[in-house]
Amino acid sequence: MLQNAFQAFQSGNPAEAEAISRQVLAMHPDHEGGLLLLAMSLDAQRKRAEAIALFERMTLLFPQTSAYWSNLGTIRRSLGQDELAASAFERALALDPDEPGALFNLGAFRFDKGDYVEARRLLLHAHAMWPDDAGVRAQAAAACFECGDIEGAERLLADWERWVPEDANLLADIGWTLTRLTRAEEAGRALEAAARAMPNNTRVDLRRAAFHERTNRVDEANALLSRIPQDAIDRAGLRSDALTLRADLAMRTEDFATARRLYEELVADPGMVRRDPQLPSQLARVCDRLGDTVAAMDWLSRGRALHIAQLRERAPQVFDEGADPLRIIRRPVTPAEHSAWQPLPSPTAAESPVFVVGFPRSGTTMLETMLDAHPDLAGMDERAFVQDLIDAMAKDGYRYPDDLGRLDAEAGAKLRALYRDLVTTRARIAPGKRVVDKNPLNIMRLPLIARLFPQSPIILALRHPCDVVLSNYMQTFRSPAYVALTATIESTARGYADTFAFWLDQAAVLAPRVLELRYEDVVDDIEGQSRRIADFVGVDWDPRMVAFHERARERGFIATPSYHQVVEPVNRKGVGRWERYRDSLEPAIPLLRPYIERWNYAV
């Protein structure tokens, strides 16, 4: 009889399965199979109250069966009983640490609560138990991303189009993770596939609207968001997600009063701030645009403290005594070492990448977009390819920078070939175009650039040091090491000073081809400065370099915090902002003064 009930359930007839199960239980009230099948049949018919009572009964009758605790947790979670669900999953794992359902569901619960470290541990364990489950794999990738394990997220989402089923919600979640991994083209495909699989799905449409905002299609984002009914958003449990997007869009359209109201509502929820530590910084930037500098600094201070507390959980080693986020610059190449480097065959300037470097928030994205607007040049967003070469050196037994002089023609050619492969496979540069490699932190990797690409044009982006320090402090970064570096205004200024001390020393030793370019000069005379840039790089000037914001809109996705700024025509909004925060910046000025004076700025 129970076999008939199971067949009815499997064939999509839970009502018939319920009726047969009840017949079995009328004769044998504690029959294990009958109870399980009845509970499953009730759950399938959304008779959740009856189903949960049965699952609870089963955990009393069979308390050592892990799967029943996991089932109880699953149905509790579907009813919004999150804490009770978590307790049931924990009990299941105490009985069987490899129970995949409990691992996945508890991991997803921890993820929703913003406990990303524990979520990642549980979800990777679940993936090991269920390697072919697409939902587990996608959630584990998202958890890896939140923990800064970009390599893990990339690995889990490799070839996603081959294994992901036509499930709208799953495609939407994968699409959003791909967006955050800067794989915009793939993200767009995933989100459009989700929309085809389930038109007018609230979760899918909200993800698509956020993707439009992130790819600078603000009108499309607003239009799509306006079509999603609020009651549908509330039923889907996505109110906070929609509120965040509305706040972001209000900021984009310069409706700062609305943006402030919405962000204030969001930051009032500690759980929301834990899930999205950028919210206090976003609110601070809105306050800044409204001229409320006191509130801006207050929210920056509070937000930074909360974010650092979180990161101490996720990456405690970054905050250990003696940890140094600028370790790579503590060992410069000496003049004697440089003079002992054996000669290497090297590419010409025209065969070499154009590097754009500088301390973060100095206008490097603007410069890269300006160069990318030129028909002979191609940017590739922010990639860590130079660091990848340093890592490859280590795998081949070379210490960096100590063994740069040991590189022979074969080793140098191998590293340059690896760089070309990385550009080809991950950045998709059209044939015949010169590569623009914009990564501000390559300012710390000058020795390797000088060794492999000695003829490369390097553009050093400069901006008033006080504006740079303030802008870094106002930004929430994902890298734990960089968050530690910018923990306070003074620590940010110290990082700036140390970085430029290293740069100036190494530039004197290595004599690279460098064009120093002040942000303020560019915004005051964009045509004149763009002509300087073209001449330095070795290309004919093109008027499209002046209208770079139009090229930025065409590109859509720009993988830096300033993605929303470079689609605007050049302006002076970011010039001299620090002066309104002079009191807060006062302790940093002595550290910055040598560089303020060197590049003819004033305090």
- Mapped onto helix, strand or coil, the DSSP state of residue 198 is coil
3-class DSSP state for residue 518? strand
| Structure confidence at residue 552 (pLDDT) | 58
The structural domain count of the chain equals 1
What is the band of 215 on the pLDDT scale with cuts at 50, 70, 90?
Answer: confident
What's the pLDDT at 421? 92
* 3-state class (DSSP) for residue 236: coil
Please state which of the ranges 304-313, 372-381, 517-526 shows the lowest mean pLDDT: 304-313
Is residue 560 situated within a structural domain?
yes
Helix and strand numbers, DSSP H then E, in the chain: 34, 5
Does pLDDT of 561 surpass 80?
no
Is there a domain that residue 277 lies in?
no
Q: Are 363 and 356 in contact (CB under 8 A)?
A: no
pLDDT digits (tens, 9 = 90+) for 569-582: 565 667 889 999 99
The CATH number for 539's domain is: 3.40.50.300
**Is residue 433 helix, strand or coil?**
coil
Choose among 135, 136, 67: nearest CA to 102: 67
Q: What is the mean pLDDT of residues 376-386?
A: 89
Highest mean pLDDT among 1-10, 142-151, 347-356: 347-356
244-283 tens-digit pLDDT: 999 999 999 999 999 999 999 999 998 888 888 889 999 9
What pTM does this model have?
0.80
Comparing 32 with 193, which gets the higher pLDDT?
A: 193
pLDDT bin (cut points 50, 70, 90) of residue 551 is low
In a domain, 419, yes or no: yes
What does the pLDDT average to over 150-175? 93
Residues 6+ apart with CB under 8 A from 450: 506, 510, 511, 512
pLDDT (0 to 100) of residue 563: 46
Q: Percent of the chain, pLDDT > 90?
A: 65
Whether residue 433 is contained in a domain is answered as yes
Residue 162 has pLDDT above 50, yes or no: yes
pLDDT at residue 51, as a whole number? 82
DSSP string for 354-375: EEEE-SSSSSHHHHHHHHHTST
Residue ranges making up the domain that contains 517: 347-598
Count of other CB atoms within 10 angstroms of residue 499? 21
Asked if residue 266 lies in contact with residue 279, where contact means CB atoms within 8 angstroms, the answer is yes
493-521 confidence digits (pLDDT tens): 999 999 999 999 999 999 999 999 999 99
Residue 290 banded pLDDT, cuts 50, 70, 90: very high
Averaged pLDDT, 177-201:
92
Contact 233, 202 (CB under 8 A): yes
579 within a domain of the structure (yes/no):
yes
Q: Is residue 582 part of a domain?
A: yes
Let me know: does 463 contact 519? Beta carbons within 8 Å.
Answer: yes
Work out the average pLDDT over 302-307: 87
Q: In angstroms, what CA-CA distances link 198 with 22, 45, 230, 494?
A: 36, 21, 19, 52
- Name the pairing type of β-strands 434-438 and 457-462: unpaired
Query: Is 509 part of a structural domain of the chain?
Result: yes
* 3-class SS letters over 147-195: CCCHHHHHHHCCCHHHHCCCCHHHHHHHHHHHHHCCCHHHHHHHHHHHH
Peptide bond into 401 cis (omega under 30): yes
Coil, strand or helix at 460: strand
Residue where the block lists tokens 């509070």: 302
Q: Name which of 166, 172, 168 is nearest 142 in CA terms.
A: 172
In-domain check, residue 588: yes
The answer to whether residue 556 scores a pLDDT higher than 70 is: no
